[in-house]
Amino acid sequence: MSIRPAPAERLPRGPHKLSRDEVALAQRTRLIRAMAEVMAEKGYVETTVADVLSRAGIGRETFYQQFSSKQDCFIAAYDAATEVIISGAARDAFADGPPLERFDRAIGHYLSALAAEPAFARLFMVEVYAAGEQTLKRRNEIQEQFVELVLNAFGARDEATRFTCEALVAAIITLVTTRLAMRDVDGLLALHEPLTELVRRALANV
């Protein structure tokens, strides 16, 4: 499992059969991945557009054809990570099976997706706090989606259960973010079983 966009090879030199749109997509893919990789090493504040260009092997003019700023590129990388993590977990949350089994599959997908791409995971969970108000707003929207996934997994909509799910999601995000901030991928994956047990106990008392 890997977070889109996947690593992209450099475009061939000289004449090629790629369309203009294909070239632009390949360049965008490389820039987004370069943003995640450099930021994982240096952090959002210390990462510059020049760092991203150097890692991607792409010129400044091309960067600004794709993005208006470093933050704009960050948001594109954040959205790429979000699509895979949330969409995969959502499929598991809505699949057949008992509620706790659906949650167990969903949280497993979530943790595995993060562990498979540490650079994007760090961008998604850690560096988002340094990337400005717009990205924090987007993060809060994603957290609300996560709450909805948990609610759907258990088929519950009453206020007591919603509050419990909100508290559980906040706890999950804190635990995950701590592991990622420490670059502890094994510790991240080890959260799977205790998180499922935590949710089972919490919702059994609602």
In one-letter notation, the amino acid at residue 7 is P
Residue 132 pLDDT grade (very low, low, confident, very high; cuts 50, 70, 90): confident
Compare 1 and 145 and report the one with higher pLDDT. Answer: 145
Contact (Cβ atoms closer than 8 angstroms) between residue 192 and residue 92: no
H-type alpha helices, the chain: 20-42, 49-56, 60-66, 70-93, 99-116, 118-125, 133-154, 159-181, 185-189, 192-204
pLDDT at 7 over 50: no
Per-residue pLDDT tens over the stretch 183-196: 999 999 999 999 99
Q: Residues of 80-97 as b/e, b for ≥16 C-beta within 10 angstroms?
A: bbbebbbebbbebbeeee
Count CB neighbours of 116 within 10 A: 14
pLDDT at 10 over 70: no
Q: Which domains does the chain have, with CATH numbers?
A: 20-69 (1.10.10), 71-204 (1.10.357)
Per-residue pLDDT tens over the stretch 23-42: 889 999 999 999 999 999 99
In one-letter notation, the amino acid at residue 203 is L
CA distance 200 to 103: 9
CA distance 187 to 176: 9
- End-to-end, the C-alpha distance of the chain in Å comes to 34
